[in-house]
Amino acid sequence: MRKIVLASASPRRKELLQKIGLKFEVDAGNCAEEIDPALKPDEIVRRISIEKAHAVASRHKDAVIIAADTIGVIGTKLLGKPHTVVEARKMLAQISGKSHEVITGFTVLDTATNKIVSGTVSTTVYVKKLSKQEIDAYVRTGEPLDKAGAYGIQGLGAVIVEKIEGDYYNVVGLPLNALAEALREFGISVLGWNLTK
């Protein structure tokens, strides 16, 4: 079995890889994650995921690196991670009663061959109309901080989501179906799937 490295400090991405039975180690690396406003949102997250993979690649010979980056988009506005209570409240008010897109860029990099498979997955999320009291109560839990879009669908944020269209795990931070397909390109089997196309 090839050595697999998750280039992310996200506990949610770690849990998702464990969920599909992969054996891996974590090396979060150090990537600036700078957003180029000239790029489209899907191009931004894909490029950042590639940069995250490259940031740790030199430390792991003959390994397969998995990296990802997730962002929310409402209209033309990017919904990154709020770092303060004020930012979290503002972001939740923006998505209240509306739909938005959650886009994850992911990259799989083979450090032995420099082969890269990279892509993006988008999911539409519909958020219920939130009162000021509901927003304040949710922000007080601390969950919205440091999460793209200011909510965690896998936690308390589940109660503010009316429905989604697309991959649930993409909203959590890692589109497992698309990732499993990408890993097949590197001879890594999930559920013993046929490795030949």
Q: What is the mean pLDDT of residues 56-74?
A: 94
If one counts the domains in the chain, the total is 1
- At 129 the three-state DSSP class reads coil
Q: Which long-range contacts (CB under 8 A, 24 or more apart) does 34-40 make?
A: 35/78, 35/80
Q: What is the mean pLDDT of residues 172-195?
A: 85
Active-site residue, from 36, 42, 62, 69: 69
User: What pLDDT sits at residue 197?
Assistant: 43
User: What pLDDT sits at residue 192?
Assistant: 60
Asked if residue 49 has pLDDT above 70, the reply is: yes
Asked if residue 181 has pLDDT above 50, the reply is: yes
Q: Evaluate whether 108 touches 54 at the Cβ level (below 8 Å).
A: no
User: What pLDDT sits at residue 47?
Assistant: 95
Handedness of CA 183, 55, 21, 152 (dihedral sign): negative
- Burial of residue 70 (number of CB atoms within 10 Å: 0-12, 13-18, 19+): buried
Please give the structure tokens belonging to residue 125: 């999320």
CATH number at residue 111: 3.90.950.10
Residue 175 lies in a domain: yes
Residue 94 lies in a domain: yes
Residue 85 lies in a domain: yes
Residue 196 lies in a domain: no
Residue 190 lies in a domain: no
Reported confidence tier of residue 196, pLDDT bands at 50, 70, 90: very low
Q: What range defines the domain where residue 59 resides?
A: 3-184
Lowest mean pLDDT of 26-30, 109-113, 149-153, 165-169, name the range. 26-30
| 73/189: higher pLDDT | 73
Q: What is the mean pLDDT of residues 48-76?
A: 94
Question: What's the mean per-residue pLDDT of the chain?
Answer: 92
Residue 189 lies in a domain: no
Residue 46 lies in a domain: yes
| 162/30: higher pLDDT | 162
Q: What is the mean pLDDT of residues 50-66?
A: 95
Say whether 62 is catalytic: no
Q: What is the pTM of this model?
A: 0.90
